[in-house]
Amino acid sequence: MLGTFKRIVLAAALLIAASLTLVTGSAAADSSTWEAIKERGSLRVGVTQAPPWFYKNPATNAWTGLGASIGQAMATELGVEFDPVEVTWGTAVAALQADKIDIMFVLDATPARAMAIDFPSQPLLYYALAVLADDDLQISTWEDLNKDGIKIAVTQGTTMDTYISARLPNAEILRFPSNGESVAAFQSKRVNAVSLFHPPLIAMRKKIGRGQIVLPSPVRQSASSAGVRRESDKTFRDWVNTAISYYYQTGQTQAWYEEFLTSFDVDPTTVPAIRREDW
């Protein structure tokens, strides 16, 4: 009888120990991003070669660009190291879910992405549908391009294609499978203009060496954001919201943007701002 009692006590003790292990493991797995950053001593920021947002200097391997500047500033505020982790736009969401990075800047908050990760309520920046056009064209409105003899390139099946097709019925619209092919059509002078959201056009214009970037009126704008991991503890997400709101409202986001453009040999006064108040 006593042996049976001892076996019952031993089994109960083992069960309790196993339960405590599960609870401890679960608690560790549920460690918030905020706590993990402090414990690790670093802020892991997703980066990808995409100026003006991120640019890896081939000579030094150092990361610059707007996203890198914001990440470095946040790391300083948190008292930790800035840790750039290379991803792609296509893998950024999975990297957040897998706890490979803590944040990805200039990631648009779409309904599909919002089912997988979190976004702060404050937009990071704004960009708009623009055109890279021949220097001799006088453009202030979309109607200035809505003329016979004007050829404009767009990427087939995109937001640009839909908007341009509806807005410019009198122009000749040439549709291409990719952004690169659309820009190549302008580079080879097969078209008078190419339409994309304005930030990518900056690097493209630099490479081509000609053309003006214009935001025709009425401006078709879009907001970009910063993606963070979805978790029950919203401390990090809410802190990011406060930080990017502060940087935007004080003009620091625009200043970092212009600082990179200058270092990239682009005159900031020749390209649209990323603060919509400055358009």
Same structural domain, 110 and 139: no
Are 91 and 200 contacting, i.e. CB atoms less than 8 angstroms apart?
no
The boundaries of the domain holding residue 186 are 127-221
**DSSP letters spanning 71-107:** HHHHHHHHTSEEEEEE--TTTHHHHHHTTS-SEEES-
Q: For position 204, which CATH number holds?
A: 3.40.190.10
Give Cα separations from 52 to 203, 206, 264, 273, 274 (angstroms): 8, 12, 8, 12, 11
What does the pLDDT read at residue 90?
84
Give Cα separations from 172 to 41, 161, 168, 187, 189 (angstroms): 55, 12, 8, 17, 14
Domain assignment of residue 196, yes or no:
yes
Across the 279 residues of the chain, what is the mean pLDDT of every consecutive 10-residue run?
A: 50 48 45 96 95 92 97 98 94 96 94 95 95 96 97 88 94 91 94 91 88 93 95 98 98 97 91 90
Q: pTM for the complete prediction?
A: 0.78
**DSSP letters spanning 109-135:** --HHHHTTSB--SS-SEEEEEEEEE-T
Same structural domain, 118 and 201: no
Cis geometry, peptide bond prior to residue 52 (ω within 30 degrees of 0): yes
Q: How many CB atoms lie within 10 A of CB 73?
A: 17
Domain count of the chain?
2
Query: Could you identify the residue written with the tokens 């404009």?
Result: 152
What does the pLDDT read at residue 3?
55
Same structural domain, 217 and 253: no
